[in-house]
């Protein structure tokens, strides 16, 4: 796999406040669970860098983020920081704001966040940065003005292309298709959808995208939207779901319906959630990256920012433990690698 990174050239200078020790972060809020793991003596003021880093997923209860944030926890334990995870129950645009504000009050050293909206959490993140907290977005970015570094799982072009390619193979490169996405404002899915539309228009003249619907990364909503899609488009040949929640719900619907084996389904899924549907023939192939590596890399990037090894400038280099060395690229973005295609031949090799 190829690893490379990017950092934004122009950044506002932020006052680095004195950060109080935040060895333990405990949030009590509706719909929020908190996990905290402490390394040995990593946070504090003075010369000691505050390596209390909290992960905020799009929503809790999503196995993708359970895996990515576990990767972050592994990294943070390695460098003896303090890991915590907090987040909302639903993946709505501003649901993460109150968690960011609380972390700012508590004086953590870093926040790693996957954004439900490119702008809605911007003010809260900038307040956190004004208080000296280093902000890393991963998985789903904000506008670059609101974070120090973005950890991208793979290029958006690569992620879009692999999904269109897999669907095209499965439907003979022709017919009506639809997209079942996550939240309507999700930065990552919207970037991929734009590029998938372009790829279809440029390279697949006989494929027609007839609908895009949103399951909000909620299992039941995604399941119901799948049923509705199939009802509204009786000629549908295939569905692309660029979200692990969406593809698993769609597969579950298809697997017990008359459409099983007739309507193709691909997109981005986790091997553990998709295994039974690959085994029973509902799904032929889908793609993803390693979410644990993504969280692990994001944690190391946050550490490098906190310690001042990097600032987010293009060309900045940092060490990411077992993943090796990474370089920040354009727009303060660090790239994890390439997407990977899972099929019945290889799915047995993966457990996440
Ligand atoms: C869901 C989330 C996440 C996305 C994956 C593919 O878990 O929407 O942001 O990256 O799917």
Residues 120-124: contacts with CB under 8 Å, at least 24 apart: 120/93, 120/94, 120/185, 121/94, 121/96, 121/97, 121/146, 122/146, 124/96, 124/97, 124/100
Mean pLDDT (the chain) is 90
pLDDT per residue as tens digits for the range 229-261: 999 999 999 999 999 999 999 999 999 999 999
Residue with tokens 């996957």: 114
Among 336, 183, 161, which residue's Cα sits nearest to residue 266? 161
**pLDDT reading at 10 higher than 50:** no
How high is the pLDDT of residue 337? 96
More confident residue, 338 or 5: 338
Å from CA of 177 to ligand 1 middle: 20
Among 63, 278, 268, which residue's Cα sits nearest to residue 180? 268
Residue 175 sits at φ, ψ, to 5 deg, of: 120, 175
How high is the pLDDT of residue 48? 87
Strand (E) or helix (H) holding 68: helix 63-78
Check: CB of residue 25 under 8 Å from CB of residue 103: yes
**pLDDT reading at 343 higher than 50:** yes
Among 300, 271, 352, which residue's Cα sits nearest to residue 68? 352
**pLDDT reading at 22 higher than 90:** no
Q: How far apart are CA 318 and CA 294, in angstroms?
A: 15
Å from CA of 114 to ligand 1 middle: 9
What percent of the chain has a predicted confidence (pLDDT) above 90?
86
CA Rg value for the chain: 20
How high is the pLDDT of residue 3? 28
Q: How far apart are CA 38 and CA 136, in angstroms?
A: 20
Name the pLDDT band for 39 (thresholds 50, 70, 90): low
Strand (E) or helix (H) holding 37: strand 35-38
Which residue's alpha carbon is at the smallest distance from atom 2 of ligand 1? 243
What percent of the chain has a predicted confidence (pLDDT) above 70?
87
Q: How far apart are CA 139 and CA 131, in angstroms?
A: 24
pLDDT per residue as tens digits for the range 144-158: 999 999 999 999 999
- Which residue from 96, 245, 269, 289 has its CB within 8 A of the most atoms of ligand 1, so it is best to mutate? 245
Strand (E) or helix (H) holding 318: strand 317-319
How high is the pLDDT of residue 330? 97
**pLDDT reading at 17 higher than 60:** no
Å from CA of 285 to ligand 1 middle: 17
How high is the pLDDT of residue 42? 43
pLDDT per residue as tens digits for the range 299-311: 999 999 999 999 9
Q: In the chain, what are the domains?
A: 10-153+291-337 (3.40.50.2300), 156-288 (3.40.50.2300)
**pLDDT reading at 184 higher than 60:** yes
∠ CA 116-119-125 to the nearest 5 degrees?
90
Q: What is the pTM of this model?
A: 0.89
DSSP single-letter state for residue 348: G
């Amino acid at each position: 796999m190829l690893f490379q990174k990017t950092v934004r050239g122009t950044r506002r200078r932020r006052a680095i406040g004195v950060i109080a020790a935040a060895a333990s972060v405990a949030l009590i809020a509706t719909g929020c669970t908190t996990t905290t793991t402490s390394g040995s003596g990593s946070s504090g003021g003075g010369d000691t860098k505050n390596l209390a880093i909290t992960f905020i997923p799009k929503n809790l209860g999503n196995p993708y983020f359970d895996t990515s944030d576990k990767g972050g926890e592994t990294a943070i334990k390695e460098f003896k920081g303090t890991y915590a995870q907090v987040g909302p129950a639903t993946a709505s645009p501003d649901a993460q704001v109150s968690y960011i504000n609380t972390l700012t009050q508590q004086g953590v050293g870093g926040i790693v966040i996957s954004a439900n909206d490119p702008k809605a959490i911007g003010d809260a993140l900038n307040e956190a940065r004004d208080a000296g907290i280093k902000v890393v977005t991963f998985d789903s970015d904000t506008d670059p003005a609101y974070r120090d570094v973005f950890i991208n799982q793979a290029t958006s072009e690569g992620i879009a292309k692999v999904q269109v390619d897999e669907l095209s193979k499965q439907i003979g490169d022709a017919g009506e298709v639809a997209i079942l996405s996550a939240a309507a404002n999700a930065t990552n899915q919207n970037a991929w959808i734009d590029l998938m539309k372009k790829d279809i228009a440029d390279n697949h003249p006989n494929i027609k995208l007839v609908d895009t619907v949103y399951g909000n990364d909620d299992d039941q909503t995604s399941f119901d939207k799948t049923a509705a899609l199939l009802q509204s488009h009786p000629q549908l040949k295939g569905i692309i779901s660029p979200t692990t929640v969406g593809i698993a719900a769609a597969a579950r619907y298809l697997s017990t319906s008359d459409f099983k084996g007739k309507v193709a389904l691909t997109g981005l899924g986790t091997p553990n959630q998709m295994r039974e549907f690959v085994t029973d023939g509902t799904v032929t192939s889908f793609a993803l990256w390693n979410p644990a590596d993504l969280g692990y890399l994001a944690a190391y990037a946050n550490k490098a920012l906190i310690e001042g090894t990097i600032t987010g400038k293009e060309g900045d280099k940092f060490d990411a433990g077992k993943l090796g060395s990474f370089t920040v690229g354009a727009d303060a973005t660090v790239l994890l690698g390439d997407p990977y295609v899972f099929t019945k031949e290889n799915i047995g090799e993966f457990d996440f």
